[in-house]
Chains A and B, each alone.
Chain A
């Protein structure tokens, strides 16, 4: 039972079982059970539930970071989420993404690198940038928005990172997976679109062959999601499909 169904959006007044029944309103062939039992026993908390970034992230430091052992880029400048009204991820078509990323943008200059801690305006929302290293191969935006106590569903999140390549690398591909949709730009050029209702799957979509220039390369990303756990992962693959790890990653 996938909780990406609309009924799981925050603010939904119905209880879960009501939601389940709504989800399965067609089960008329099933008959009532013998009895209903209390749905849940007392369940103690298993860990820290405070809104803190340190559970899943560490503040990016001045020390340059390299991709992880599989080439995933874990350091990102992350903007607080732009709230979006998205009932179902199936609306995240290519044209929807282009339109939304154009209108709900902090800057049309796709090579700009925001400063950690600075605020920008998107529409009428004042949003803050965070420079963070994810503790996992992916960057879980649900964890990020929970940590900063912002909306977790129905969000658009802008991302920037700077990778330093020791040499020019031709015929490489940017590779990404995200929940649910997103777009990626390299040095101001759009290179990757992930439209539709997607799961965060490593190497779900790769770019066409591109060139990483020697020195700094600026990656801009945007991930958008309705119901479900907003999430993404990005890495570069060489022309043989092998993850590229000889990069350094900064945020300025």
Chain B
């Protein structure tokens, strides 16, 4: 009987400091990341915002007038709607939510000009609401535009905006939908409305207790109920993301759908210990588990079996399987008093001398814990990335033999990693918790292809299809 101790989730074999984004990703209360003309934008409290060419390295340069706190942003049609809250000062809870439009978020564009902001909600300083911390949702089911706003001071409120004008729908009255939280935003998925909101306290560096929770409802107006039946008006909420490693106090969730099965969340960490305890932008995969969103993991460097979800076979080098020492024993029930000695694992040096020295093909086979089936994946020495991650180098463990895409849409291994773009790999955790693996480029092609299983045993490149297990992979550590 085979007995393999399998850890189904990621485990780190190479010590790695987990950081948020790179560059100068310093921001507080970021708006949902929005793409505009190939660049990514997010705006924060105060004014201004961050821009990224690739979604991984972020710098200042975003422009959002109006000051105030905790904006949100959304593309509607060909325009961008930006919403932010302003407060009256003096410790009061008097505030107003403003919306404004721009045709582009690129401040260098001649079309960059914000419209005059309009007020869509207020709080008078005494009522049980703070008119700050707005979050937008364009309901894909109805086309209606919803805004939630508020802080711990009383209730989170829901109002409806006109998606054509960004103004409050005439006659619309607010609905209280949650309490004891802030930085709320709605997400629609599969017939459910999800309210994601931030609990805890901010602005105290590594002592901040921010975390993001969720409740859901069949109606946009609520009630929003958590996984144990608590109403968010009673403080309910199921954890989506909390402190992880040196990334302390996540808050201000924003939802980004890249394509079917590939979703991200934007947020900030109150403190990134690796970056001087500063408040930084964070981007994580969204995983949906039993109908609830949870934060996935930014891929962690390590040595793994790369398992095809299709059948459960593993990516391997197309070389001869070398038999291990030892033979069948223990059959027949005869008494055997020989001392029990462990059988050593097959080592790379035992077998690699018999491998070809040039390019070697890749295939998928039954995992046997052999050297030709173990892959070391590390952050590539490349400055570029994609939304939420850097490109990775995938080499056979203990070697520099690298996985590479070919011009004819296949995958091979080359003897040495050179840093060529076809040897760089994007790894996204998918909404079901499995992973997509994509080369940065396919040589002589502009196609965006992913590593897939053709049949059980042939790895190839093809268009990603979330509905097929052929397109999905797991990383296992044994």
State whether the Cβ of A200 lies closer than 8 Å to any Cβ in chain B: yes
Of A16, A33, A37, the contact of B91 (CB 8 Å cutoff): A16
The DSSP consensus for interface residues of chain B is: loop
B181: chain A residues at CB < 8 Å are: 199
Q: How far is the CB of B229 from chain A (nearest CB, A)?
A: 10
Indicate if the CB atoms of A23 and B235 lie closer than 8 Å: no
A88: chain B residues at CB < 8 Å are: 201, 204, 207
CA distance A12 to B203 in the complex (A): 16
Interface residues in A1-31 (C-beta closer than 8 Å to B): 1-12, 15-21, 23-24, 26-31
State whether the Cβ of A90 lies closer than 8 Å to any Cβ in chain B: yes
Indicate if the CB atoms of B65 and A34 lie closer than 8 Å: yes
Q: How far is the CB of B15 from chain A (nearest CB, A)?
A: 27
Q: How far is the CB of A31 from chain B (nearest CB, A)?
A: 5
Indicate if the CB atoms of B66 and A37 lie closer than 8 Å: yes
Known contacts A1-B202, A47-B127; is-contact A27 B66 (Cβ 8 Å): no
Indicate if the CB atoms of A5 and B25 lie closer than 8 Å: no
State whether the Cβ of A63 lies closer than 8 Å to any Cβ in chain B: no
B44: chain A residues at CB < 8 Å are: 24, 27, 30
Known contacts A33-B66, A41-B96; is-contact A2 B152 (Cβ 8 Å): yes
Q: How far is the CB of A238 from chain B (nearest CB, A)?
A: 16
Indicate if the CB atoms of B46 and A21 lie closer than 8 Å: yes
B207: chain A residues at CB < 8 Å are: 88, 90
Number of A-B contacts (CB under 8 A): 220
Q: Who on chain B is nearest to A50 by CB?
A: B126
Of A6, A23, A199, the contact of B180 (CB 8 Å cutoff): A199
Indicate if the CB atoms of A229 and B152 lie closer than 8 Å: yes
Q: How far is the CB of B186 from chain A (nearest CB, A)?
A: 19
Interface size class of B (residues with CB under 8 A): 35 or more
Q: How far is the CB of A77 from chain B (nearest CB, A)?
A: 23
Known contacts A16-B88, A24-B279, A199-B152; is-contact A1 B132 (Cβ 8 Å): yes
B204: chain A residues at CB < 8 Å are: 5-6, 88, 90
B154: chain A residues at CB < 8 Å are: 229
Contact stretch, chosen from A99-107, A127-135, A159-167, A201-209: A201-209
Indicate if the CB atoms of A39 and B88 lie closer than 8 Å: yes
CA distance A222 to B65 in the complex (A): 45
CA distance A138 to B154 in the complex (A): 12
Indicate if the CB atoms of A16 and B89 lie closer than 8 Å: yes
Interface residues in B76-106 (C-beta closer than 8 Å to A): 86-96
Interface residues in B395-430 (C-beta closer than 8 Å to A): none
Indicate if the CB atoms of A2 and B124 lie closer than 8 Å: no
State whether the Cβ of B210 lies closer than 8 Å to any Cβ in chain A: yes
A233: chain B residues at CB < 8 Å are: 234
Indicate if the CB atoms of B61 and A27 lie closer than 8 Å: no
Q: How far is the CB of B49 from chain A (nearest CB, A)?
A: 6
Q: How far is the CB of A162 from chain B (nearest CB, A)?
A: 24
* B38-73 interface bits toward A, Cβ cutoff 8 Å, 1 = contact, 0 = none: 000000111111100000001111111111111000
8 A–B contacts, CB within 8 A, in A order: A6-B204, A15-B89, A40-B94, A43-B122, A49-B124, A90-B209, A200-B235, A229-B154
A31-B60, A47-B124 given; name 12 further pairs at CB < 8 Å: A1-B182, A2-B251, A3-B130, A6-B203, A17-B89, A27-B46, A36-B66, A39-B86, A39-B88, A40-B96, A200-B180, A202-B230
